[in-house]
């Protein structure tokens, strides 16, 4: 269980996380939705232990982010972290050396599924292919928590569907907990259990997607827009 309590983080004068609290239960896919600059990526980075909160507390299975929790967490950042000389196979070797939970059979399954070539240079791949490569590198670990930062941004609909299928397939097999940030609301809604909608560092909406839709008879996008409009007045 990931528990975030009264998280506050400021960059200069700007409060990026403003007293944010939520719980991500085990075995669920939670969507962290929000406008640009809402604080989604910052939230993920603090959970991953790459940033510290100014105030408040984050616990992962009761422990504050440290080296032990990092081993339990698999973080897919939205920025490119691989060297320009690296082929996909180099990055796979690197991951295998760093993480004991790297799973070669998952990696080769995903190579097939995404039709990727290990000999291809990561930096020369198209945006969609690069997204698949990055997802392969992330999903081939067997970590308990998976944090995905914008896995769909700038990717064509066909590749998006493949990426969504790969994420759900991995979840079906392993039942880990997944926290996924995006602004492609309609793209992720079929894979979510819970939704968190944040705007300017504050939590505006939190709940089970299917129950919210059933109660309001609206699409998730409409529900989220409603919460956004309400917050602006």
Where on the chain is the footprint of other proteins (CB under 8 A)?
27-29, 161, 164-165, 167-169, 171-172, 186, 189-193, 210-211, 213-214, 217-221
Straight-line distance from the first to the last Cα atom of the chain, in angstroms, rounded to the nearest whole number: 34
Q: How far is the CB of 174 from other proteins (least distance, A)?
A: 11
| Nearer to other proteins (CB atom), residue 28 or residue 59 | 28
Q: Dihedral, CA atoms, 95, 175, 186, 17, nearest 10 degrees? A: -70
Q: In the complex, what is the shortest distance from the CB of residue 210 to other proteins, in angstroms, rounded to a whole number?
A: 4
CB of 30 to other proteins, least distance (A): 11
Residue placing its CB nearer to other proteins in the complex, 21 or 219: 219
Rounded Cα distance between 224 and 44, Å, is: 20
CA quadruple 96, 127, 77, 121: dihedral sign: positive
Nearer to other proteins among residue 123 and residue 190 (C-beta): 190
- How far is 101 from 135, CA to CA, in rounded Å? 16
CB of 113 to other proteins, least distance (A): 11
Residue with Cβ nearer other proteins (37 or 175): 175
CA dist., res. 196 & res. 206, Å (int) = 5
Backbone φ and ψ of 187, nearest 5°: -70, -35
Q: How many CA atoms lie within 13 A of 13 on its CB side?
A: 0
Q: Which is nearer to other proteins, 8 or 23 (CB)?
A: 23
Shortest separation between residue 1's beta carbon and other proteins, angstroms: 16
């Amino acid at each position: 269980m990931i528990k975030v309590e009264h998280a506050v983080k400021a960059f200069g004068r700007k409060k990026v996380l403003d007293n944010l609290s939520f719980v991500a239960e085990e075995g669920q896919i939670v969507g962290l939705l929000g406008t640009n600059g809402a604080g989604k990526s910052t939230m993920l980075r603090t959970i991953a232990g790459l940033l510290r909160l100014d105030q408040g507390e984050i616990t992962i299975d009761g422990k504050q982010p440290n080296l032990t929790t990092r081993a339990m967490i698999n973080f897919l950042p939205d920025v490119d972290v691989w060297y320009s000389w690296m082929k996909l196979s180099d990055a796979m070797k690197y991951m295998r050396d760093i993480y004991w939970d790297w799973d070669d059979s998952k990696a080769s399954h995903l190579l097939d599924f995404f039709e990727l070539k290990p000999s291809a240079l990561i930096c020369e791949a198209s945006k969609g292919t690069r997204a698949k490569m990055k997802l392969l590198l992330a999903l081939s670990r067997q970590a308990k928590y998976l944090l995905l930062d914008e896995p769909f941004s700038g990717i064509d609909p066909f590749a998006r569907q493949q990426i969504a299928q790969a994420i759900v397939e991995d979840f079906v097999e392993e039942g880990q907990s997944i926290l996924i940030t995006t602004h492609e609301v309609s793209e992720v809604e079929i894979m979510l259990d819970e939704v968190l909608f944040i705007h300017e560092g504050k939590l505006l909406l939190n709940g089970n997607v299917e129950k919210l839709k059933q109660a309001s008879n609206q699409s998730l996008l409409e529900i989220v827009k409603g919460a956004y409009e309400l917050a602006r007045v």
